Every structure is written in structure tokens, then in C-alpha cells.
């Protein structure tokens, strides 16, 4: 911290698996609680842990955004993909480059936390379709495609990628603690129903 040396921060994903965030810098220390303040990007480093005279809410918003983008999102993605064995929960695609961690309750929702029970591993197309309420997931893990989409006629991506997913059951982790939270699924499914 005193020498402001760049460090690598290894955030635990699963047993023996880490997300490496670098460079990070230690910018403050709370002697009483034995905690350190870590800056995950250059802007946070310059702002420092204490900037007197700045409105707190504004400063917090300024610091939270890079933390969410640089640290929380990659860690969330890594944890969800690990839990789902790098596989789309809807179509079973196993190509990490084409997979995302979708939020069940969105980022910004009071319970939209970046934790595995609020996440679903999805390929890019199913993630976008889920976010835009083109398909929904019931709390019993059944996938539903919106009626107007089912009535459309188009090429193979619509037929195989969307229509064929209607009625499938989501593949979820066997570990109970990693499975999607049924209450969150229920609340999210309600939004899908309203959209349809």
C-alpha cells in the first residue's frame, strides 16, 4: 500500500478456481477491523478512499460502477459458468465464448444480486431472449417461448434456436445451493407473462 505496487487479486470461484483481477492497488487500511480498501481500476485509485468535501452518494456511484463492471460481473460470470459446468441451461451449448451469466432478477432490482442462485448460464441468444422476455422460465424450470414468437415463420435460428426450446426443462446444477431461487424465478416469470 505504501509503495503503491500493482497486485493481483484472486477471487475464489470454487474449490481451487480463482478469478484473477489485475492490476489492483491497496489504497486504504482500516486498522480496527483489519480490512483493506482495494481499487480495481485507475479511477478508483486516484479518487482514494477518502476525498473530503465530495457528496458521498455521487462518490459512491462513481466508485461502484467500475467495481461492478471490472470485478463483480466477471466473478459472477465465472461462478455461474462453473456451477453450470460451462453449459447453456436452455440448449446445452458448451462453448464458453458464447456463454453468459444471465441475472434472474436484474441488476438494479433490490434482490438482483450477482450470486449463483440469481444466475443462469445461458448462450448469447438465449440470454438476450430471456432479458427481452422472448422466452421465460417458470419456477418449475419449464421454458416457455412467447406466443407471438411461436407463431412467426422464419429460418433455422427461429425454428431450432427458439421454437424448439418451448417446453424444455432447464438444466440446473445438482448442488442445491447453486440452483436458481424459485421465488426469484417466479417474480421474473410474472414479468414475462405480462410482456406476452
Contact with Zn ion (CB under 5 A): which of 103, 126, 144, 188? 126
Q: Binding residues for Zn ion, how many (CB under 5 A)?
A: 6
Three cell numbers written together for 139: 419456477
* 91 contacts Zn ion (rule: CB under 5 A): yes
* Burial per residue of 118-134, b for 16 or more beta-carbon CB atoms within 10 angstroms, e otherwise: bbbbbbebbbebbeebb
* 99 contacts Zn ion (rule: CB under 5 A): no
* 90 contacts Zn ion (rule: CB under 5 A): yes
End-to-end CA distance of the chain: 54
Instruction: Using the rule CB under 5 A, give the single segment among 19-27, 71-79, 123-131, 140-148 that binds Zn ion.
Output: 123-131
CB 186 within 8 A of CB 105: no
Instruction: Using the rule CB under 5 A, give the single segment among 42-50, 89-97, 104-112, 139-147 that binds Zn ion.
Output: 89-97
CB 10 within 8 A of CB 20: yes
CB of 193 to Zn ion, least distance (A): 21
> Which of 39/88 has CB closer to Zn ion?
88
Of 159, 153, 142, whose CA–CA distance to 193 is shortest? Answer: 142
Do you find a cis peptide bond into 87, omega within 30 degrees of 0?
A: no
CB of 82 to Zn ion, least distance (A): 17
Q: Is 39 buried (19+), middle (13-18) or exposed (0-12) by CB count in 10 A? A: buried
CB of 90 to Zn ion, least distance (A): 4
* 123 contacts Zn ion (rule: CB under 5 A): yes
Task: List contacts with Zn ion (CB under 5 A).
Answer: 88, 90-91, 93, 123, 126
Amino acid at each position: 500500500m505504501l509503495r503503491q505496487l500493482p497486485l493481483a487479486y484472486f477471487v475464489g470461484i470454487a474449490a481451487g478456481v480463482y478469478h484473477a483481477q489485475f492490476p489492483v492497488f491497496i489504497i486504504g487500511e482500516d486498522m480496527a477491523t483489519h480490512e483493506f480498501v482495494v481499487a480495481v481500476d485507475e479511477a478508483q485509485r486516484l479518487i482514494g478512499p477518502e476525498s473530503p468535501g465530495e457528496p458521498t452518494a455521487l462518490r459512491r456511484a462513481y466508485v461502484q460502477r467500475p467495481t461492478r463492471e471490472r470485478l463483480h460481473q466477471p466473478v459472477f460470470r465465472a461462478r455461474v459458468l462453473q456451477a453450470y459446468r460451462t453449459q447453456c441451461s436452455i440448449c446445452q451449448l458448451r462453448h464458453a465464448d458464447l456463454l453468459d451469466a444471465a441475472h434472474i432478477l436484474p441488476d438494479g432490482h433490490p434482490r438482483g444480486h450477482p450470486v449463483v442462485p440469481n444466475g443462469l448460464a445461458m448462450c448469447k441468444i438465449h440470454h438476450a431472449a430471456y432479458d427481452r422476455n422472448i422466452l421465460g422460465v417458470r419456477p418449475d424450470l419449464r421454458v416457455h417461448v412467447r406466443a407471438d414468437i411461436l407463431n412467426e415463420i422464419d429460418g433455422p435460428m427461429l425454428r431450432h434456436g427458439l421454437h424448439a426450446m418451448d417446453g424444455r426443462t432447464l438444466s440446473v446444477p445438482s448442488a442445491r445451493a447453486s440452483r436458481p431461487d424459485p421465488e426469484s424465478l417466479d417474480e421474473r416469470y410474472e414479468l414475462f407473462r405480462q410482456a406476452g
